Amino acid sequence: MADRYYLSVTAGPTYEDQKPIPINTEESTRISTSKLTANLTIRVQNYRGLDVNHQPSPHKTSPYFAHAPHERDLYSLQFHFTPKADVNGYDMVFGNDFDHPIRDKLPPGFQQAFNLVKWFIDPGLYADVQAEEPYLYGPLLSSMNVWRVGPKDDREQEAVEEVRAAAPADRPHVFEEGGDGDGVEARKHFKIPGDAAARKKFFLTEKNLRDFTFEAGREYSNDFFNPYLDFNEFALRLPGFSVIPGITMPIISYWDGQPLRYVMKDRSTGEPFFVVCFTLVPKDDVAKKDVKTEEPKTAGAAAASSGGGDDDVD
């Protein structure tokens, strides 16, 4: 059933303001709002999806997935953001949400699966899948696989950006837990452990979240990845699922047409900082669109045209 669909990936500052973005290239998508600036790079292993022109993408994978320690990972949502105003660490959350109820679409054993995810992957998750607008979020500080604090000094930040820009276009930007410039001291100021696992555990304590501030003008680098969500087969592959009857399943069997959204938002206001949407598009729809696009040209009714755009989303 999965081979009847293409995956379409869009991103933007809100749920409504979305545009197609490149997948499996090192070309980032910039989002600029009154709240922050962010640069997103999305990678999907075995990508069976559409490019920014709504055509089947030639970029099926990324060198990122050949780079240790990502050989087993199936996707990566990598983003750098700089807040324009201070944000409390408790309020910055990341996760999934939906516009419509999914309670009637949940597969058998979902609760066991969710308990497994909380225990094995992210104890900081909180969710209400029975709600009219279901959600599953976690504090960004305990959810990110890799988290890096950048400098606040403009000259130091320019040096960081120069290093990124100097990297070959086909070389994936793979960064490690830590800090750059005075970001190293910023981590020490908040007593944040140096390795990722200890940092995640540190921020499972609410007081530590509330004591932390995402500072205006300072860049924070994030990489969220795992080997559990297979976008190629639209299947969930969590540890231990195979031994729980009815849990190993293709997600598409329970899909109700809603996109899978990854949202970074402000818990205190409910407003998103940015939204990434993964949507299934029937292959027949893409083929029909191609036919309609070509017909006027074949009949000579339209002149050849070209277009394009940058990768900024405002």
Percentage with pLDDT > 70 across the chain:
84
Q: Report DSSP letters for 94-147, one per residue.
A: EEEE-SS--TTTPPTTHHHHHHHHHHHT-TT-EEETTSSS-EEEEEHHHH-SEE
With a cut of 70, say whether residue 311 has pLDDT above it: no
Name the DSSP class of 76. E
Give the span between the Cα atoms of 92 and 214, in whole angstroms.
Answer: 9
- Position 281 scores a pLDDT of 92
pLDDT of residue 162: 83
Task: Note the pLDDT of residue 31.
Answer: 98
Extents of the domains making up the chain: 2-293
pLDDT over 90, % of the chain: 57
Give the model's pLDDT for residue 84: 97
For residue 245, pLDDT over 60 is answered with no
The whole-model pTM stands at 0.86
* CB-based contact 95:143 (threshold 8 Å): yes
β-strand partners of 105: none
Residue 211's pLDDT is 98
CA angle (235, 238, 240) in 5-degree steps: 130
pLDDT grade for 75, boundaries at 50, 70 and 90:
very high
Mean pLDDT for 177-189 is 95
Averaged pLDDT for residues 70-80: 96
pLDDT band at residue 191 using 50, 70 and 90 as cut-offs: very high
Task: State the average pLDDT over residues 209-213.
Answer: 97
pLDDT digits (tens, 9 = 90+) for 9-63: 999 999 999 999 999 999 899 999 999 999 999 999 999 999 999 999 999 999 9
Is residue 232 very low, low, confident or very high in pLDDT (cuts 50, 70, 90)? confident
Note the maximum CA span of the chain.
Answer: 68
Spatial distance between the Cα atoms of 36 and 16, rounded to a whole number of angstroms: 18
**Mean pLDDT across the stretch 74-82?**
97
Instruction: State the pLDDT at residue 301.
Output: 36
- What is the model's pLDDT at position 278? 94
Check pLDDT > 60 for residue 114.
Answer: yes
User: What pLDDT shows up at residue 239?
Assistant: 60
Q: Which amino acid is at 179?
A: G
pLDDT at 207 over 70: yes
User: In the structure, what pLDDT confidence band is assigned to residue 268 with cuts at 50, 70 and 90?
Assistant: very high
Residue 154 CB partners (closer than 8 Å, separation 6+) = none
- Section 153-181 average pLDDT: 84
Q: With contact defined as beta carbons under 8 Å apart, do 142 and 200 qualify?
A: yes
- Rounded to whole angstroms, the Cα distance separating 128 from 142 reads 19
> Is the pLDDT reported for residue 246 higher than 50?
no
| 94-103, 181-190, 269-278, 282-291: least confidently modelled range | 282-291
The end-to-end CA distance of the chain, in Å, is: 36
- pLDDT surpassing 60 at residue 302: no
Q: What pLDDT score was predicted for residue 82? A: 96
**How confident is the prediction for the chain on average, in pLDDT?**
85
Residue 242 has pLDDT above 70, yes or no: no
How high is the pLDDT of residue 304? 34
Parallel, antiparallel, or unpaired: how do β-strands 126-128 and 135-139 relate?
A: antiparallel
